[in-house]
């Protein structure tokens, strides 16, 4: 007997279940091909249909099903630039509620995975556990906890800074770097995020200035590599990215001024790029979000080179995953995917980077389509996004950890 898809869009509590999903076109984001095939899900994993004879059946005829989207560069509670100074007064609890709301809303838009690349007061780790346990419905998280920077380095938000939440760790010298990495590992982070160069955000820097001394750089990579925790580097500079790749760094964030030599080194080392192209290309966003003059100027003057750097990486075979670096996560990630295509990636390259790429970067395996054994983080769209991109932004249903977080209404 076929049961209809359960109704509702944001259940307060999430039900675990076993499902057989009938009639959908299953899209492979590696090849771009789709085929009509039944899928089964149990205990958060795609399983053979024959394994769950008693599962509830869902009729997904006419829909396309594919792996859900990843925002691999997010700060869920960030109030970037915070022109009203709200974060000055917020404690971790209030900050956390905002971050959680942002993440839950993103899941409703098909974002089934979020890598938090610097977040305050372990808010990311807290929500990660809540979503995984099914206390509330939200995306799968991979968390870096607080970001590591040098005193006065990237992320310094002079003259305003949150005083109640621990947003970053300012560390100087190799001993403090080692302690910062180790204390984050003790908190249970999945990633280490380190600010290796300047960027757009802070006033007194450029996108290419190298901010760590050699011994500080080596201390971070040494401890993280020993403990098997991947490192994501805020990095605009080609030479610093090249060095980071050779030292075993896992992902370069932004990569504003990468060149062919850096791209070759990254490809050889298996170092990923998360380009966040919107932060230099989305000028309307900069105005809307109240970016200060220094940031708008630096973004506009970096934009052309940033796109060239990304295309050089794609050409060299560097693996790319998507991240928006902006809030709210859902709408900004969807905007990022369009901007990546305008900057020169093909729709299939973008869809891969946004789905299977995010999964692979975050240790969920190399599969490009939901087959038995893969984590059941899925979206159901009204047609094939490669034929009609806009269907991605309005998923009909969304599943994370094998649970429906948005059901067919």
Q: Which residues bind Zn ion (CB under 5 A)?
A: 325
- Distance separating alpha carbons of residues 227 and 191, to the nearest angstrom: 11
Q: Print burial letters for 154-163: b (CB count within 10 Å at least 16), e (below 16).
A: bbbbeeeebe
**Nearer of residues 136 and 309 to Zn ion, judged by Cβ:** 309
| DSSP per-residue letters across 289-350 | TT--HHHHHHHHHHHHHHHHHHHHHHHHT--B------SSHHHHHHHHHHHHHHTT--HHHH
Closer to Zn ion by CB, 25 or 78: give it.
78
Closest separation in Å from C-beta 35 to Zn ion = 38
Q: Is 192 helix (H, G, I), strand (E, B) or coil?
A: strand
Minimum Å gap between C-beta 118 and Zn ion is 6
3-state secondary structure 8-68: CCCCCCCCCCCEEEECCEEECCCCCCEEECCEEEECCEEECHHHCCCCEEEECCCCEEEEC
Is the CB of 168 or the CB of 325 nearer to Zn ion? 325
CB closer to Zn ion, 42 vs 148: 148
DSSP character string of 231-294: EEEEEEEHHHHHHHHHTT--EEEEEEE--HHHHHHHHHHT-EEE--THHHH-HHHHHHTT--HH
User: How far, in Å, CA of 71 to CA of 10, rounded?
Assistant: 20
**Cβ-proximal residue to Zn ion, closest one:** 325
**390/383 Cα distance (integer angstroms):** 10
Taking the complex as a whole, the smallest distance from the CB of residue 170 to Zn ion amounts, in Å, to: 16
Residue 161 or residue 178: which is nearer to Zn ion going by CB?
161
CB of 16 to Zn ion, least distance (A): 33
Which C-beta is closer to Zn ion: that of 63 or that of 116?
Answer: 116
- Which CB, 44 or 199, lies closer to Zn ion? 199
Minimum distance from CB of 160 to Zn ion (Å)? 17
Minimum gap (Å) between residue 325 Cβ and Zn ion? 4
In the complex, the smallest distance separating the C-beta of residue 117 from Zn ion, rounded to whole angstroms, is 6
How far apart, in whole angstroms, are the C-alpha atoms of residue 289 and residue 115?
Answer: 22
Closest to Zn ion by CB, 58 or 79: 79
110 in the Ramachandran plot: left (φ > 0), alpha (ψ -120 to 50) or beta?
left
CB of 320 to Zn ion, least distance (A): 16
């Amino acid at each position: 007997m076929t049961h209809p898809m359960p109704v509702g869009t944001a259940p307060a509590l999430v039900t675990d279940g076993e499902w057989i999903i009938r009639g959908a076109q299953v899209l492979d984001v590696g090849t771009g091909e789709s085929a009509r095939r039944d899928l089964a899900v149990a205990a958060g994993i795609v399983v053979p249909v024959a394994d769950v004879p008693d599962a509830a059946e869902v009729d997904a005829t006419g829909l396309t099903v594919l792996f859900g989207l990843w925002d691999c560069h997010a700060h869920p509670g960030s109030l970037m630039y915070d022109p009203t100074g709200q974060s000055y007064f917020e404690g971790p609890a209030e900050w956390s509620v905002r971050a959680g709301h942002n993440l839950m809303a993103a899941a409703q838009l098909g974002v089934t995975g979020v890598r938090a690349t610097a977040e305050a007061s372990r808010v990311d780790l807290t929500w990660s556990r809540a979503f995984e346990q099914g206390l509330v419905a939200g995306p799968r998280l991979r968390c870096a906890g607080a970001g590591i920077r040098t005193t006065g380095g990237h992320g310094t938000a002079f003259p305003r800074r949150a005083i109640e939440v621990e947003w970053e760790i300012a560390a100087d010298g190799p001993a403090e770097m080692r302690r910062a990495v180790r204390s984050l590992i003790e908190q249970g982070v999945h990633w280490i995020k380190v600010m290796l160069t300047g960027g757009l955000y802070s006033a007194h820097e450029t996108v290419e200035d190298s901010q760590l001394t050699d011994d500080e750089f080596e201390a971070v990579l040494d401890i993280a590599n020993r403990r098997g925790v991947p490192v994501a580097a805020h990095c605009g500079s080609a030479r610093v990215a090249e060095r980071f790749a050779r030292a075993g760094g896992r992902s370069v964030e932004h990569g504003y001024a990468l060149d062919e030599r850096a791209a070759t080194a990254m490809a050889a080392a298996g170092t990923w790029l998360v380009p966040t192209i919107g932060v230099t290309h989305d000028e309307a966003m900069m105005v809307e979000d109240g970016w200060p003059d220094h940031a708008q100027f630096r973004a506009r003057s970096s934009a052309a080179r940033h796109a060239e750097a990304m295309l050089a990486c794609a050409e060299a075979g560097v693996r790319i995953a998507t991240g928006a670096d902006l809030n709210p996560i859902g709408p900004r990630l969807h905007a990022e995917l369009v901007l990546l295509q305008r900057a020169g990636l093909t729709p299939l390259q973008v869809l891969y980077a946004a789905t299977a790429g995010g999964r692979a970067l975050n240790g969920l395996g190399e599969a490009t389509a939901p087959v038995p054994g893969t984590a059941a983080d899925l979206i159901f769209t009204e047609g094939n996004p490669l034929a009609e991109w806009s269907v991605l932004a309005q998923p009909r249903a969304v599943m994370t950890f094998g649970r429906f977080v948005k059901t067919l209404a």
